[in-house]
Structure 1
């Protein structure tokens, strides 16, 4: 029972983070992603969401390592592959 509660909580925090990011409330979005990651540090979507927020805040130094962490967990995570490819192509530096 608790396992399902935690799963729903993580998904809710991730979704809330995405909504906040869409409204440009990036600090609050990052807080939601970090809460989800405290429950499950292997949740690649939250890692990627946090990385996207950091990019939008022009904090480019922290973003690539989050993509790399996500890819170390799931090497086929498409959003993280895209994010890593953007950094590797130097298109945002």
Structure 2
């Protein structure tokens, strides 16, 4: 994972998205991409070399989103999980490299 790859992915973040459990808001990540791309690339590369992932990156906030119908009926909801944007970026870079 290179600094350039990471900078490119950080630049594509949708700033209206909510932060995950790590509290990292995509707007901040995008605005600070020039400062954080190098250190984050190093962290991600080390994570891949060690085969380990930060516990914070594994966590998700799960919330129920109403689909349609009565709001009193549990079957009318679907779960949505908010995960770390940093981890999602790492996953996309690895996936793109494998394909």
TM-score (norm 2): 0.29
The structure whose residues are more often helix, as a share, is: 1
Q: TM-score, normalised by structure 1?
A: 0.30
Question: Of the two structures, which has the highest relative contact order with CA contacts closer than 8 Å and spacing of 6 or more?
Answer: 2
- Larger radius of gyration between Structure 1 and Structure 2: 2
